[in-house]
Every structure is written in structure tokens, then in C-alpha cells.
Amino acid sequence: MYQSKLNLKETEIAIKKVKDTFEAYLASSLQLMRVSAPLFVLSKSGLNDNLNGVEKPVSFVAKGISDSEIEIVHSLAKWKRMALAHYGFSVGEGLYTDMNAIRKDENVDHLHSIYVDQWDWEKIITEDERDRLYLELIVRTIVHALYLTQEELLKDFPNLDRYVFDDVFFITTKELEKLYPNLTPKEREHQIARVHNIVFIIGIGWPLANGKPHDGRSPDYDDWNLNGDLLVYHPYLDEAIEISSMGIRVDSKSLIEQLRYKDMTERLEYNYHQLIMSKRLPLTIGGGIGQSRICMLLLNKIHIGEVQASLWSSEEIKKCKEKNINLL
């Protein structure tokens, strides 16, 4: 029977410790400044994250803003790049924010909730930094910040086990497919994470040898050749947990290529896309880092509902009670 190493009060204290500590390490190591961010955007702005292209945002019409529907954000992938230009950030500088979202089409389970809380961050880079070497450098920096956070947490809660080590293994989706050709993408992630603990899988969006992408990715923010997912192995669950989706962002060339592939060139009419095409937005790298998933790992929890307050089905609540899982 599962037994949490922390009671409810200790859990809340530890959550704050993790969030405060990791946020500080992340900001200092990547030269990021905290900014305020929107909970919702206008539908017609084209700024919302389209995720895999099938999820529908929660939307509403507000009194006094009748000319457009309003959408709760899925993430701030596009908004951040606009903000960097609007606020006058320079090369090497960046921003981060607490991003809260509702994803009503999420398949809810022990790793997925309709409530999303993550750090969204974005940083201005040069043309020369738009390559795999720089992508890997940033990933290693994030993993190191996560490792340091864990070490600080263990000072206050020494009964917790280490789930994170200061190393990361890089592999492309094509290499991963060749390694495990008969497995599904999720099964491949599981196998590689069991071997290497922390894995960054590069190149998500373009089809693989089997004609299908490793996973879906919106065509208008990440460059599909220079993006990826950061996975950490959870030994109790025996699962690979994705804690971050990130990447170097599209330039005008990759934007057109990816929109053409997805047959979505009509998006080029949006202001955001026109700014990229005319090179009036800076070149950037950025991503989202799941706050609750990091807390799950560092606090040795087995259900995301142990570290965030959300809503669950009666069936899910019953399962948690049977497994001695205390939901917040």
C-alpha cells in the first residue's frame, strides 16, 4: 500500500519550497525576469497555444468586449515572444511567468489534470544559437536547476528519495524509433527513461519512418527540428514523466514549412505570424515547465492531485482512496 512520505501540511510546505527554490535557480541561470501574464486572450489574436490541434479552449464572451470571443490560454508559447519585443528585452535576456490554464479536453489521470500550472519562459537568442548545441546547453541548465532544487529540499525533508540526478541523455525521435521500432512513442519514452533517468527527446512534429510524428506539436511556435520533451523517470510508478516541452522557436522559413505541411497557411494572416515573417519578432528559445509534475517527482508523490487542487471524477476519487492517496 502506498504511503506518502509527507503529511498534508508538510506537503504544502514542501510545494512552496520547491516552487520558490526552482524559480530562483531558473531565473538566475537563464537570466530571466518575472513578468505578469494573461489568463485569457482574444480568439481572433491567434496567440493561443493550439497544442496538438484538436483541443478546444474554454471560451466566453465578456460584457464590453463584444467584438471577439475570449479564450482561456492553453499556454503562453506565442504571447511570450510578443512580450519580449514589446518590453524591449535584449539578446541573452528573457522572461518567465506563472502560467495557469484550463485544458478541458485533457484525459484526466494520475499525471494529467484539467488544471495546468507551469513556468512559461522565453529568452532572446542570436541566429548562431539556433542549433542543437545551444538547445542542449539550455536543457542541461534546466536539469541542473532541478537537481539543485532537490538538494535544497532534502535538507528540510531528508526522508525523501532522490529521483533526479545532474545528468541528461539526448536522443532524437528518429534515433529512438530505430532503437525501439516495434514500440509506440510512449513505450519508447518509458524504455529510454528507465535506462537513463533523465532524457531529452529532440525533434517532435515531423513524421518519422512509419509516417507518423513522435507526438503532435503546433506548427507555429517550435521549430520541429530544434525542439523536444524533457522526461524524468519515476521509479515508484515505473513511468517516464514529461516535465517540460520546449525548443528553439520558428523563424520565417520553418514557420512556412510547418504551416504548409499541416495545411494551415491561413494562419499567416494573424498579426503574430506576420511579425515573424517580417522579422520584427526576436529569435527565441522557450518552453513550459510543469510545476505540479516537478513537485510530484521531488516529493515522491504518485498522483498529481497530491500536489495541486483540481477536480476529479468520482471514479478517480474512489481509486485514490483505495490506494491511500490523499488528494488536495
Tell me whether residue 103 is one of the annotated catalytic residues: yes
Q: Give the range among 97-106, 203-212, 238-247, 252-261 with minimum mean pLDDT.
A: 97-106
CA distance 81 to 287: 11
C-alpha cell, 241: 514523466
What does the alpha-carbon distance between residue 124 and residue 94 come to, in Å, rounded to a whole number?
A: 6
For position 55, what pLDDT does the model report?
A: 66
- Separation between Cα atoms, residue 225 and residue 134, nearest integer Å: 13
Residue closest to 228 by CA, chosen among 262, 207, 205? 205
Domains and CATH numbers, the chain: 8-322 (3.30.930.10)
- The pLDDT tens digits of the residues spanning 218-227 come to 899 899 999 9
Task: Name which residue leads in pLDDT, 66 or 87.
Answer: 87
* pLDDT reading at 177 higher than 80: yes
Choose, from 242, 244, 249, 308, the residue flagged as catalytic: 242
Mean pLDDT of the chain: 92
Q: pLDDT tens digits for 77-89? A: 888 999 999 999 9
Structure-model confidence comparison of residues 179 and 73, the more confident one:
179
Annotated catalytic residue within 245, 254, 258, 308: 245
SS3 74: coil
Q: Which of 141-155, 191-205, 305-319 has the lowest mean pLDDT?
A: 305-319
Flag whether pLDDT at 237 surpasses 80: yes
**Is a pLDDT exceeding 70 seen at residue 11?**
yes
Distance CA 170, CA 145 (A): 18
Q: Lay out the sheet containing 40-42: strands in order across.
A: 40-42, 65-72, 59-62
Indicate whether 63 pLDDT > 60: yes
Catalytic one of 75, 113, 118, 150: 118
- Of 35 and 63, the structure prediction assigns the larger pLDDT to 35
Between helix 132-156 and helix 291-298 the angle, nearest 10°, is 50
Q: Which of 248, 245, 286 is nearest to 122 (CA)?
A: 286
Whether 242 is catalytic: yes
Catalytic position from the list 71, 229, 239, 306: 229
Q: Check 23, 49, 71, 239 and give the catalytic one.
A: 49
The amino acid occupying position 220 is D
Q: What per-residue confidence (pLDDT) applies to 234?
A: 96
pLDDT band at 1 (very low <50, low <70, confident <90, very high): confident
Annotated catalytic residue, options 23, 71, 103, 222: 103
pTM of the model: 0.91
List the end-to-end C-alpha distance of the chain, in Å, as a whole number. Answer: 19
Structure confidence by residue, pLDDT tens digits, 92-133: 999 999 988 888 777 888 889 888 899 999 999 999 999 999
67 is catalytic: no
**Lowest-confidence segment of 53-62, 156-165, 200-209 by average pLDDT:** 53-62
| 257 a catalytic residue | no
Residue 322 has pLDDT above 90, yes or no: no
Q: What is the DSSP string of 215-240?
A: S---TTTEEEEEEEEEEEEETTTTEE
Tell whether the model's pLDDT for residue 292 goes beyond 60: yes
278 has catalytic annotation: no
Q: Is 31 a catalytic residue?
A: no
